[in-house]
Chain A
Amino acid sequence: MSLHTAISQEGSTTIPESTVIPNGSGAAAILSAGVGSFAVALFSIIADKSTYVKNLLVFYKPTGPLSGVTTTAILLWLAVWVILEWRWRTRTIALARINIVAFVLLGLSLLLTFPPVAELF
């Protein structure tokens, strides 16, 4: 059995081809992290604007709606991650596009959690 190898650009490190894993799992983790981050920001804005949602998101009274905002966002992130991992784990994905979407979602989540920006909605 011949040993195929993939050689990195500078040729200093030789990595057996058997260790080259499709990027689907990585893409699933990256996109779901973007979605989860954005969900934190989105749910916090919705809870701030709607008294009904705010009360609905009080999962733990001493912490208030923050408990529901974060728990729901984390559950959504994990659910998206599991689903994407299941669908993409053996596939090679166009990662450049996935990265752009994830970076935009991450940037928006940093921006939208900033109260003066969140208050614009």
Chain B
Amino acid sequence: MEITTRSLWTLIHGMGFGALYLLAGSGAIATLYAQYSTNSRSQSFQGKDRLLAFYLTAMAALAWLTVLTGTYIIYPWYRAPAPAGTASLAAFPRALLLSNPATSRWHSVGMEWKEHVAWLVPIAITMAAAIAIKYGRALKLHPQLRSALHVFLVASLVAAGIAGFFGAMLNKNAPVEGGQTVHLVQGEKP
């Protein structure tokens, strides 16, 4: 069982940071609602506000790690131009997608949207984390701040979902491959 370094980075970026962000997102929305809802009867409020601030800060770290690894590690491999006369475009995902009308839109719509919309996520979640840290349990007294947190959190999940969906589809149609091979487990002889 082996994997190339480029595939490994793609896994870390998408299945690691990105998927974790999406998983954490719904939890953050539910926590925010449950903690500050006017119907909430929670008596043990102190401590939960710190937990929410920590949770959102962890999400912000995941968002930054996702966009930075995507933009500065994986994207250069994806967009590298194929040298003239290259017979196989397998190592050049962008060129491979654009070489076929059946797949070109995965780049011109999918990647073009993904590479920009993903950057809305760290902006939105960093803002949410900063407000949670600054206001803590005083958020209870600021319903409009909470509304803004909800809207930006949902928007960040939508943006992360778009980026994640197209990331998966792009990797399915033109995987980022290459680099050194990492042997994970030695196979048995037939």
Contact = CB atoms under 8 A, between A and B. Distances in A.
Contact of A70 (B38, B41, B71, B108): B71
B117 A9 contact: no
B148 interface: yes
Given A29-B127, A67-B71, A8 B144 contact: no
A96 interface: yes
- Give the contact-size bracket for chain A: 35 or more
The CB with the most chain A CB atoms within 10 A, among B117, B123, B131, is that of: B123
Interface residues of B, number: 46
Contact of B120 (A19, A62, A110): A110
A46 interface: no
List of 7 A-B pairs having minimum Cβ-Cβ separation, nearest first: A62-B76, A33-B127, A95-B144, A113-B116, A26-B145, A113-B117, A115-B112
23 contacts: A8-B141, A9-B38, A10-B40, A10-B41, A12-B40, A12-B41, A13-B40, A13-B45, A19-B137, A25-B131, A32-B127, A40-B123, A63-B71, A63-B79, A64-B79, A66-B71, A67-B71, A70-B71, A95-B142, A103-B148, A110-B117, A110-B120, A115-B109
Given A29-B131, A116-B109, 4 more contacts: A63-B76, A63-B79, A67-B71, A107-B155
Interface of A: 6, 8-10, 12-13, 15, 19-21, 23, 25-26, 29-30, 32-33, 36-37, 40-41, 44, 60, 62-64, 66-67, 69-70, 73-74, 77, 95-96, 99, 102-103, 106-107, 109-110, 113-116
